[in-house]
Chain A
Amino acid sequence: MTDGPLVETVGLEKQFPLTRTASEYFGGKAARGIHAVDGVSLTILPGETLGLIGESGSGKTTLGWLVARLHDATGGAYRFGDEEILTDRQRREVRRDRAQAIRENRVILRENRKRLRHNRRLESEQRHPSAPAPSPGAGSKAEPRVPIEMVPLKPVPPAPPRGRVAAQRLRRWRRNVQIVFQDPVGSLDPRLKVWQIVSEPLRAQGENDRKKLRERVRALLPTVGLPPDCLDQYPHEFSGGGRQRISLARAFSVDPKLVILDEPTSALDVAVQAQILNRLVEFQKERSVAYLLITHNVAAVRYVADRVAVMYLGRIVELGTVRGVLERPVHPYTKALLAAVPVADARRRRARFRIGGDVPSLIDLPPGCRFAPRCPFVVDRCRTEYPALREIPGAPGQRIACHRAEEVRDVAPETLLTVDKPAPAATPAP
């Protein structure tokens, strides 16, 4: 593989369609969708960790699923290593181009056949000059008496695979990316033994020798801190931390290039959480695997991540190095999010904190900046125009999507939260 980024997305989108009610359908209302991920551009380098933080409903899990190809992106572009992974829109475009090329080629072929006939006739006339001249039929009079050049066919792009072929390719591709889910109870089949769970990705990749599989699992278990003799135990015999270790072992069984960690420690106690995070960092050092760490736990991101992306309503509002974003947040949302994290220190207790309101609905997205309805620094421009991610002076290595980034850069997060702003009318979740 080249030295380029492992994952590169440009304007990645995912829209979930909503069913219209009968009255909406006959009333001629357009079909609406939930814009879960709405134009995300990011890169993950081989062996690095990108932390993705945001509230629930910000689309961070959907983005993780898109990267893992558990969902197909509806728009944008996604490149994994050297391989271009088509999004729905691209696939449609490829199919359209292909159909167009085939249509045009059909015309060219028809014309070429005529030309060929003409050329053959010409050839035979030259070979047998004594032969009678062609009858003065229709069409022959205008024809030139020289051979006509054939028009080459247009190249036809290959059809994107579908059906069984696509499924097979996807399955083969899956050895690159594995995922660790949040719920260590729900993501392990209670009827499978540990070795069966851990070796499942290997079996999906075609390894079928039971003895070999057991040996590989036995070798893998100590690396995640489980005793190698628990091969034949069931998941319910383990504590939460133990189950999450089984999940880790399963993810690492196929030596993936990228592991997506979707809230890996949210269900765990502090002490166990520390053990799992340590293990993750060690793994990365040993195997140079890249992580996409999706969490709302800022502490976990601080420890594991190299770079951080902050998501709000399907878009990235701030992206930068972990120290930069966590110590000098610029975007008002990042500031508020970080200040809302309770600190385990009773002496640093704050009097009041809040960002008013809930996350708005993803169906009728506010135009302009997504954070504008909750933002204390909002100006008119924010309500009409979405700010692009850009760098600002004073925050090297950070890109911020805020019109007023320069002005709010030096505002302390704590002061932001004492703003006792009346919350906007809450939108109940759809």
Chain B
Amino acid sequence: MTGPVLSIRDLTIDYVIGAGRFRAVSGVSFDVAPGRVMGIVGETGCGKSTLAQAIPRLLPEPPATIGGGSIEFNGVDLVKVPQWKMPRIRGTGISMIFQEPLNSLNPAFRIYDQLAEAVRIRQARDAGHTVLDRREAPPFDYTRRPKPEVGDALVRPLVPGGATAKAARRSLSGRRELREDVLEYLRLVRINDPETILDLYPHELSGGMRQRVMIAMALSERPALLIADEPTSALDVTIQAQVLTLMKDLIEEVDTSILFISHDLGVIAETADELGVMYAGKLVELGPVDEIFGSPRHPYTKALLRAAPTRYKSDGPLLSIPGSVPNLAKPPAGCRFHPRCPIAKDVCRAEPAPPLDLVAGTASHRSACHFAAEVPQLV
């Protein structure tokens, strides 16, 4: 494949709560190329997680509404796909890892059952069946009895339920095979002694192990895109290092693209190839990670990098960003960063920030600042 796996254009997402309308994501555009890691970084409340959940359409709609734009995944615009068809794309095409592994694993099932479910779905799909859950059947239209379409015969409830699947589950060889498959995925994520782990419940595992099970589950579908929403924020630094190393290895082994969302600049620097910096629902800087860390071209990125405490008490106070993230119900006029920006001028207060534009002298480094050229001189 040559085109991008994921291509987002002018995506706008609103939350309508009571009388208020919060524009959580406004006009975000970026691409994720196959086999690459795209990082998204920003403060709490800048719309990172909304963006992450909007791609597999996991956002509760309402209160969220996709106001415009497109999310093109392998040539399909996910914004136009009806909600009931999404389970086919989730898991098989797009997988997701969440921040809190304990909250996203079912506490009532053993690790084996949870992994086997995912593996079973993939096996059914590989066998040529269209996997369709009863729950995801199209809502019945009382006004019009739809004609059966060609190919509907293939769409039969197979997983879970369905006679063939049940038979396969009952047969001993089928079960053994499934177990072997599950074990293979646990080995893939470098879990020691996977045989024991299979029969444990999520609460019996440590945080790092749980997150590895989550990764195994996400990868068992061999997704084209993996969305990792703060996958290591709940982990210790040493465990975080292990998980990040693992993810880097797996990118090569499984051949998947990753959209990596984090507020930790260090983690992003370790993993991402490309980086998008979000502020108040907008992408303010986009480009190769080396260039952004090496010479940031947006005052917000610069401030964020400087705020990372790297000095001792005797070296003087830390440089923080004054003020706080604006209220998205009534964002400031003009550039959204201007109230906190050290180089804000009259243009910034009056006119909205320019669209992401190539920085002079670079191939793919874009910044949404009137004074992108001045940022490197900023102390």
What residues make up the interface of A, taking CB atoms closer than 8 Å to B?
Answer: 55-56, 239-241, 269-275, 277-278, 281-282, 296, 298-300, 302-306, 322-323, 336-337, 340-350, 352-355, 357-359, 417, 423-426, 428-429
Contact = CB atoms under 8 A, between A and B. Distances in A.
B318 to A, nearest CB: 4
Interface size class for chain B? 35 or more
Contacts of B311: 302-303
A271 B245 contact: no
A336 B238 contact: yes
Interface string B295-336: 000000001110111111100011111001100000000000
26 contacts: A55-B237, A55-B239, A239-B45, A239-B325, A269-B263, A272-B320, A273-B309, A274-B309, A274-B321, A278-B317, A281-B317, A302-B311, A306-B313, A340-B237, A341-B237, A342-B266, A346-B290, A346-B292, A347-B293, A347-B294, A353-B245, A354-B241, A354-B242, A423-B192, A428-B200, A428-B204
A306 B312 CA distance: 9
Contacts of B292: 346
A428 B209 contact: yes
A344 B265 contact: yes
Given A269-B263, A270-B304, A345-B269, A340 B294 contact: no
A428 B207 CA distance: 10
B266 A344 contact: yes
Nearest to A270: B307
A299 B267 CA distance: 14
Contacts, number: 149
Contact of A299 (B270, B290, B309, B324): B309
B364 interface: no
Given A239-B44, A347-B293, 7 more contacts: A239-B324, A281-B313, A302-B312, A343-B270, A346-B292, A353-B245, A358-B206
Given A270-B307, A336-B238, A342 B313 contact: no
Contacts of B155: none
B206 A273 contact: no
B205 A428 contact: yes
A429 B205 contact: yes
**The 3 nearest A-B residue pairs measured at CB:** A342-B266, A274-B320, A344-B265
Nearest to B315: A303
A296 B192 contact: no
A56 B236 contact: yes
Contact of A278 (B43, B265, B266, B318): B318
Contacts of A424: 192
Contacts of B245: 352-354
A428 B305 CA distance: 37
B188 to A, nearest CB: 15
Nearest to A420: B245
A387 B311 CA distance: 32
B10 interface: no
A316 B307 CA distance: 30
B320 A278 contact: yes
Nearest to A301: B309
A328 B324 CA distance: 37
Given A271-B321, A323-B312, A340-B237, A358 B209 contact: yes
A306 B264 CA distance: 25
B26 interface: no
Interface in B252-294: 263-270, 289-290, 292-294
Contacts of B265: 270, 344
B240 interface: yes
B193 interface: yes
B238 A340 contact: yes
Given A322-B312, A425-B192, A342 B264 contact: yes
A341 B197 CA distance: 28
Nearest to A268: B44
